[in-house]
């Protein structure tokens, strides 16, 4: 990831929040993470100073950053779903895609990628208010109306404005692993993952349920994942009945205690796998899985990869 350049588009009537999210994630230097962070720049689609939402006037990053050299291109919304996309921008995006650049859109930015024909034959999403319009205008796109974001490899589309943060944390997770993404989310004071309609990498929540015994139990469990934690044991720890604990988990997290615990075990296993050459037996034991077979089965179900394949993808030489 050294010298990986992220370029965000500037356009007249710019969606300020979406652009700000991209700048916050990719422009802010993060030396404490110990990884090669991104090089961030902005490139103007329109001539002259850009007027953004809220009356802000912006100028693109001075220098040599262009769509022709970017490794990742962010389209932070678009001025209107009915607004035409300049032919020059269409050609630039098509050329960037052809050379292997990663293209990402937030909200109405999906209409820009669609206008360039880059979503044909793919799954994609946009803001829920626009999903029907996107599907009707571009029938070759399979629109995932309930997804926070849709990752199709080289092209990633996000739904409404705040889901751009979900998508960008996903990009960080793809590039640098779950532990780094979780630390970025912690600094942003947001959860590193929100469930959506699209299958996504599950990972460790940094927030608990509401304050109280369940919140305290969650914090304790995260420090004791190596133990054989049954529902009865967790209920006893929280000083409540199993029925009450089950209800509190559903109310606070939308998950049963077992589902939450399994997600925490898999998430911790991911962090361990990202560390250089820890024996698999150590990962299985530390994450609290009863056997290698159980670990592999649950890991693949949650992550979509075997533990060994995951390690090869995320561990850096």
pLDDT at 314: 59
Degrees, nearest 5: CA angle 92-93-99: 90
Tokens of 285: 């034991």
pLDDT, tens digit, 9 for 90 and up, residues 205-225: 433 444 467 888 988 998 899
- Same fold for the pair 5-188 and 213-314: no
- Where along the chain do its domains lie? 5-188, 213-314
pLDDT, tens digit, 9 for 90 and up, residues 242-259: 999 998 888 777 788 999
* Coil/strand/helix, residue 52: strand
Q: Long-range pairs for 190-195 at CB < 8 Å and ≥24 separation? A: 190/165, 193/166, 193/169, 194/148, 194/166, 195/254
CATH class, 213-314 region:
mainly alpha
Q: What percent of the chain has pLDDT over 70?
A: 91
Topology of 5-188 in CATH?
A: Rossmann fold (3.40.50)
- Is the whole model's pTM more than 0.85, yes or no? no
CB 291, CB 253: distance < 8 Å: no
Calculate the average pLDDT of the chain: 88
Tens digit of pLDDT at every position of the chain (317 positions): 789 999 999 999 999 999 999 999 999 999 999 999 999 999 999 987 899 989 899 888 887 678 999 999 999 999 999 999 999 999 999 999 999 999 999 999 999 999 999 999 999 999 989 999 999 999 999 998 888 899 999 999 999 888 999 999 999 999 998 889 888 988 888 877 665 433 333 334 433 444 467 888 988 998 899 999 999 999 999 999 999 999 888 877 778 899 999 989 998 898 888 776 788 999 999 999 989 999 999 998 888 788 988 887 655 54
- The strand pairing partners of 14, in sequence order, are 52
Degrees, nearest 5: CA angle 163-112-147: 30
pLDDT at 272: 87
pLDDT at 63: 78
* Coil/strand/helix, residue 48: coil
DSSP alpha helices (H): ranges in the chain? 16-26, 87-98, 109-115, 131-137, 163-176, 178-188, 213-222, 231-238, 242-253, 257-273, 280-286, 292-303, 307-314
* Whole-angstrom distance, CA of residue 110 vs CA of residue 119: 8
Q: What percent of the chain has pLDDT over 90?
A: 61
Q: 52: which residues sit within 8 A by CB, 6+ positions away?
A: 13, 14, 15, 16, 19, 58
pLDDT at 270: 85
């Amino acid at each position: 990831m050294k010298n990986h350049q992220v370029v965000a588009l500037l356009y007249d009537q710019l969606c300020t929040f979406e652009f700000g999210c991209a700048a916050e994630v990719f422009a802010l230097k993060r030396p404490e993470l110990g990884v090669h962070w991104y090089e961030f720049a902005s490139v103007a689609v329109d001539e002259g100073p850009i007027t953004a939402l809220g009356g802000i006037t912006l100028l693109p990053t001075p220098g040599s950053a262009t769509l022709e050299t970017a490794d990742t291109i962010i389209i932070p919304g678009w001025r209107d779903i009915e607004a035409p996309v300049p032919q020059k921008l269409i050609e630039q995006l098509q050329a960037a895609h052809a050379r292997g650049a990663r293209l990402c859109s937030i909200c109405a930015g999906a209409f820009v990628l669609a206008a360039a024909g880059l979503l044909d034959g793919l799954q994609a999403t946009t803001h829920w208010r626009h999903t029907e319009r996107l599907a009707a205008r571009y029938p070759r796109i399979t629109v995932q109306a309930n997804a926070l974001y849709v990752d199709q490899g080289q092209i990633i589309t996000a739904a409404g404005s705040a889901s751009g943060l979900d998508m960008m944390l996903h990009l960080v997770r793809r590039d640098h692993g779950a532990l780094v993404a979780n630390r970025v989310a912690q600094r942003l004071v947001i959860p590193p993952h929100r469930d959506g309609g699209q299958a996504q990498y599950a990972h460790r929540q940094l927030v608990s349920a509401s304050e109280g015994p369940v919140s305290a139990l969650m914090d304790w469990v995260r420090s004791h994942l190596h133990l054989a934690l049954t529902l009865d044991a967790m209920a006893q720890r929280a000083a409540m009945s199993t029925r009450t604990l089950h209800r509190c988990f559903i109310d606070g997290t939308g998950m049963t205690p077992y589902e939450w615990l399994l997600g925490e075990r898999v998430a911790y296993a991911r962090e361990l796998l990202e560390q250089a050459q820890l024996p698999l037996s150590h990962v299985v034991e530390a994450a609290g899985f009863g056997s290698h077979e159980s670990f592999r089965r649950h890991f693949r179900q949650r992550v979509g990869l075997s533990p060994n394949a995951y390690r090869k993808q995320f561990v850096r030489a």
